[in-house]
Amino acid sequence: MTSVPISVPGGPERCLVMGVVNVTPDSFSDGGMWFDPAAAIQHGLELVREGADIVDVGGESTRPGSARVSLEEELARVVPVIRALRAEGVTVSVDTMRAEVAAAAVEAGAQIVNDVSGGLADPEMPRVVAATGVTYVVMHWRGHSHDMYSRAVYADVVTEVREELSKRVDLVLAEGVTHEQIVLDPGLGFAKNAEHNWAVLAGIPKLTELGYPLLVGASRKRFLGRLLADPDGTPRPFSRSDDATLAVTALAAHAGAWCVRVHEVGPNADAVRVAAAWKRAGAGT
């Protein structure tokens, strides 16, 4: 098993696009839309046609306040979708905090394990990832969604996220994961309020100094709706925050993100190309 290529093969250096397929009834922006396996598979294939480099399949919602699903339910949601997408040649990532789900997903063809807990939720996860050799997305996380906002306390969010990610890296390396397998993610919205999220985005160059590719997941998150709130303070609904997501994608890609995780792939695939052209011109190439 080899890791997913970190840069675009044969093409100009650009940020990758990960399209989201939430096989859940309750995810924040698309809960219930792709809950049926056949609909999820079709949606994944559509995302690839729109320009996704990777399709991220998740069976457990991490929306603020959400309860956990059982292992059996999570397996039943993701494995058939992953197997079908892989059979169509899609590069698949599994969004899970459970080692058993990660192992079954890799067996079904997933080439990336996207663990929003960075190995904290299931201590077996780093060993399973090490044994399979697949790419491992280690996200910054301070606890499960039901009470994560109580942990959104920082003196200097960029420094603390960087230090906490660095500790996770040391731990997963000690469990046998290799440097080449690791991708880091600052975990926008996970134990972070809007102010923290903006600081983390502005801190992308500092986070990339850790020496690992950086994944950024801003798509349709609440802090965008809050920024675009009506004059009376009503947040913009997620269904009208895709343009703001696009702006974050362009800026994050320009700032050095390796990949953006998004719900609406087509325009974001355009945005990463704009950022790449801008960077190339700036580098005089």
Q: Name the residues annotated as catalytic.
A: 221, 261
Site for ligand PMM in 222-281 (CB under 6 A): 261
Cα 168 to Cα 161: distance, rounded to the nearest angstrom: 11
Cα 121 to Cα 135: distance, rounded to the nearest angstrom: 18
* Least separation in angstroms between CB 214 and ligand PMM: 10
- How does DSSP classify residue 64? T
* Least separation in angstroms between CB 280 and ligand PMM: 27
Which residues, in sequence order, are CB contacts of 255 under 8 Å at separation 6+?
Answer: 201, 204, 205
Q: Judged by CB under 6 A, which of 217, 248, 250, 272 binds ligand PMM?
A: 217
* Least separation in angstroms between CB 24 and ligand PMM: 8
* Least separation in angstroms between CB 189 and ligand PMM: 7
Cα 118 to Cα 34: distance, rounded to the nearest angstrom: 25
Alpha helices (H) along the chain? 37-49, 71-87, 99-107, 125-132, 157-174, 194-202, 204-208, 222-227, 242-255, 265-282
Cα 48 to Cα 85: distance, rounded to the nearest angstrom: 10
Q: Judged by CB under 6 A, which of 169, 188, 255, 265 binds ligand PMM?
A: 188
Total site size for ligand PMM, rule CB under 6 A? 19
Show the binding pattern over residues 149-178: x = contacts ligand PMM (CB under 6 A), - = does not: ------------------------------
Site for ligand PMM in 112-151 (CB under 6 A): 114, 116, 137, 139
User: Per CB under 6 A, which region of 24-32, 44-52, 77-85, 203-211 contacts ligand PMM?
Assistant: 24-32
State the residue number with the nearest CB to ligand PMM: 217
Q: Which is nearer to ligand PMM, 126 or 187 (CB)?
A: 187
Nearest to 31 by CA among 52, 75, 61: 61
Site for ligand PMM in 36-65 (CB under 6 A): 62-63
CB 81 within 8 A of CB 40: yes
- Phi, psi dihedrals of residue 216, rounded to the nearest 5°: -125, 125
Cα 279 to Cα 285: distance, rounded to the nearest angstrom: 9
User: Per CB under 6 A, which region of 20-28, 96-104, 150-158, 274-282 contacts ligand PMM?
Assistant: 20-28
CB 53 within 8 A of CB 89: no
User: Per CB under 6 A, which region of 22-30, 165-173, 197-205, 229-237 contacts ligand PMM?
Assistant: 22-30
- How does DSSP classify residue 5? P
Q: Which is nearer to ligand PMM, 29 or 278 (CB)?
A: 29
16 binds ligand PMM per the rule CB under 6 A: no
Q: Which is nearer to ligand PMM, 63 or 236 (CB)?
A: 63
Cα 208 to Cα 161: distance, rounded to the nearest angstrom: 12
Collapsing DSSP states into helix, strand and coil, what is residue 234?
A: coil
Interface with ligand PMM by CB under 6 A: which residues?
A: 20, 22, 27-29, 62-63, 95, 114, 116, 137, 139, 185, 187-188, 215, 217, 220, 261
